[in-house]
Amino acid sequence: MNNKTTGRAIVTFARGWQTLVAVRSLGRRGVEVITGDQYSMTPGSLSKYSTGKFKYPDPEKDPSGFLDALEKVVIENKPEDGRPYVLLPIHKESYLIAKYRERFEQHIALALPGIEQIMQVHNKGTLAAYAQKTGLPMPCTWIPETVDAFHKKLQEMTVPAFVKIRESSSGVGIDKVNTHEELEHTFLKFIDQFDLKSGDLPIIQSLVPGDDYCVTTLFNRGKLEACMTYRNLRTYPVKTGPGALRETVEAPAMEKIAGEVLGPLDWHGVAELDFRWDGNAESPPHLIEVNPRFWGGLIQAVESGWDYPWLVFQLAATSTVDLDTERRTDVKTEIPMLAFLSTLNELSHSEAGHAALKDGWESAKDEFHDGSKRAGLKALLKGLKTGLDPKARLAEARRVLGDHKHNVYDILSKEDPGPALGIFFPLAVFLKHGKVNIDLITGEGAPSDDDKTDGKP
């Protein structure tokens, strides 16, 4: 590391696993990192690369308090020797900082798009309208403005489909529906659950075949400076949850669309775009949504050679980007707890086991009806033995767990073990309540009152 390029960074949302990736990325390059969050014990603050920490009020409940606290910290920690000094917001608080950027830009450098650009793509309703207007490939999307308008068009909507609230993350507020009855029920449930008003109602998006891909980007005033794509090999919950196991892939068609989405908006900073594609060269990938900030699978990009936290630091400090690392496509990364839950889910839904049980049952029914009771019982027992065979289950477990052998973990690190303590809180919640809080595991959210194990955050 060249010492003349070291500096200081203020990093927010220290509880996020992607924040931990950013803290380690900058710290390893000699940047002093000061971490902030509304909670004290966070993975980012427990990292050896966090040289200082601070607390701020909840940005959603007390935006003014958050801005005041952050501005105070920014001013107090400004280097006196003129070294690069960068504000690196990680999560949704970046939207608030972008809106009131004039409070910070006189003290610290930052690389963020404007709040108008952010809201153009962050809201799934405005993104769908933007895609329809510009001809971008996106699944057919309905954007009802009132409940009456939804009911009038209900029977015309194609199912299966996804019902999505307009602003969400980590799979929250997204449900797949297979019938019009399920569609109506989920639509009305989301309105009640998230207290949605007319003009902000859920959207309905048709189901398109294929796998999910994540295109990660960095723009410099509308110019695409860096771009890489990964796909989720496993998610938890299945189909709608965040990635638990990921791999880097080549996806020039999607990356081209990413440039066409954000380039015309004069985008400045990072963004991640979700696509769905069936692998057929004749069919275009479909844009699903845009995350106008750092994303959950940031570790996949950094370990593959696209060190976005460092690139953003460079961009903010110097207005230029230097891709100085070798890039790889043979990396797999995972979130330990999500990967564990996903693995258990895969083992419990083994197709081979289910097929054996089903065949045994069908053979038994036929024998009971047309043959001997003894032969029917024998067929049933054979199906049970095959489907529940411990040796077969062990072999299947070894196969699935073998996927984890050489993976890189978001959290676990021999040279920086402290943040691993962050795993224990969501684990304690799981043991206490017998339920999985995905927001806590991914670092995307705060504990609810029911989740708190000691009555305190």
Secondary structure, 3-state, 379-429: HHHHHHHHHCCHHHHHHHHHHHHHCCCCCEECCCCCCCCHHHHHHHHHHHH
> How far is residue 177 from each of residues 30, 163, 174, 180, 181, measured CA to CA in Å?
49, 7, 10, 8, 9
Record the pTM. 0.76
Contact call for residues 337 and 422 (beta carbons, < 8 A)? no
Band of pLDDT at residue 360, cut at 50, 70 and 90: low
Sign of torsion, CA 97 44 170 331? positive
| Residue 200 DSSP class | S
Judged by average pLDDT, the poorest of 96-110, 175-189, 388-402 is 388-402
**Segment 233-278, tens digit of pLDDT:** 766 555 555 556 789 999 999 999 999 999 999 999 999 999 999 8
Percent of the chain whose predicted confidence (pLDDT) is above 70? 71
Tokens of 438: 């995905």
Measure CA of the first residue to CA of the last residue in the chain; give whole Å: 38
Q: Per residue in 274-327, pLDDT tens?
A: 999 988 888 889 999 999 999 988 999 999 999 999 999 999 999 999 887 788
**pLDDT of 138 higher than 80:** yes
Rounded Cα gap, residues 215 and 234, in angstroms? 17
The angle, 0 to 180 degrees and rounded to 10, between the axes of the packed helices 115-122 and 124-134 is: 90
Which of 404, 398, 432 lies closest to 337, judged by CA? 404
**More confident of the two residues 199 and 277:** 277
Q: How far apart are the C-alpha atoms of 300 and 307, rounded to whole Å?
A: 10
pLDDT tops 70 at residue 143: yes
Write the DSSP string, 12-64.
Answer: --TTSHHHHHHHHHHHHTT-EEEEEESSSS-HHHHSTTEEEEEE---TTT-HH
SS3 334: strand
Percent of the residues in the chain that have a pLDDT greater than 90, as a whole number: 53
Strand pairing of 286-291 and 269-277? antiparallel
pLDDT tens string 41-83: 888 999 999 999 999 999 999 999 999 999 999 999 999 888 9
Q: Quote the mean pLDDT of the chain.
A: 81
Say which range, 4-18, 227-241, 435-449, has the weakest mean pLDDT: 435-449
Q: Which of the pair, 16 or 9, is modelled with greater confidence?
A: 9
- pLDDT confidence band for 337 (50 / 70 / 90): low
